[in-house]
Amino acid sequence: MKTKISLAALALVFVGLSMGCSTTPQTQTATPVNDTAVNVAKTYEQKIEVYSAGDTEYSGFYNNFEYKGTLLNTAIRELLLDKRKTYYQWDESKVAAEKAKDQQELASTTTAFVSFFTPDRENDNLTDKKSIWRIYLDVGGRRYEGKPVRIRGNLAELQSLYPYHTRWNTPYLFHFQVPTTAIETQPSSMTITGPLGTRSVTFKAVK
């Protein structure tokens, strides 16, 4: 009788130990994703889009050329300055110098950043003396002819400032001889025209 009790007790101990040693699967808790950087990028892109516009000229199913531009008005220049200040970690003196430069340009010239593409690279000749293209800015009943300057800057920086720009497009600055401060409070229309077609886009007025 004693032997049976001892065996039963040992059996219970063994079962208890086995249950104690068994491993219970632990539920993995997902690490929260920090969306701050993503949200900041989206907000910046949305602000750029307010004063940006683009269009494409087609020949049948093929595009002759396409472009998208951003009017570098007061609001956009402040946005670009804040962006560069952040990732270059500029000090206050550098920021002040860049801001003064922007204000000087706003008071003398109107500038647009343009990301331009045409399938035939020979036709991407906006800056050539014999260019097939003409560029105009229409605002307040007046027309101003633009002078294009090709940008040789770093692709990563350009895409950071203008998220729609791609490595397949050519970056330009279009300069028009009219103060930005004189025209930015009304809508303006920019036109690129030539033998391959004509396309115009409208930039919103600064509120």
Q: Which of 40-44, 119-123, 163-167 has the lowest mean pLDDT?
A: 40-44
- pLDDT value of residue 69: 98
Asked if 167 contacts 158 with a C-beta cutoff of 8 angstroms, the reply is no
Residue 25 corresponds to which tokens in the numbers above? Answer: 């699967």
DSSP 130: T
Q: CA-CA distance, 171 to 71, in Å (whole number)?
A: 14
Burial grade of 98 (CB within 10 A; 0-12, 13-18, 19 or more) = middle
Domains parsed from the chain with CATH numbers? 48-203 (2.60.40)
In three-state secondary structure terms, 206 is coil
Contact 95, 102 (CB under 8 A): no
Flag the least confident range among 8-17, 110-119, 169-178.
Answer: 8-17
Q: Is the pLDDT of residue 41 over 50?
A: yes
Q: What whole-number percentage of the chain has pLDDT above 90?
A: 77
pLDDT attached to residue 32: 53
In whole angstroms, what is the distance from residue 181 CA to residue 69 CA? 19
The pLDDT value recorded for residue 40 is 67
Q: 36-45, 54-63, 114-123, 138-147: which range is least confident on average?
A: 36-45
User: 């560069």: which residue's tokens?
Assistant: 84
Which residue in the block uniquely carries the two structure tokens 């962006």? 83
Q: How confident is the model at residue 87 (pLDDT cuts 50, 70, 90)?
A: very high
- Residue 178 CB-density burial (10 A; 0-12 exposed, 13-18 middle, 19+ buried): middle
Tell me what pLDDT residue 169 has: 98
78 pLDDT higher than 70: yes
Mind listing the pLDDT tens digit for each residue in 130-185?
Answer: 999 999 999 999 999 999 999 998 999 999 999 999 999 999 999 999 999 999 99
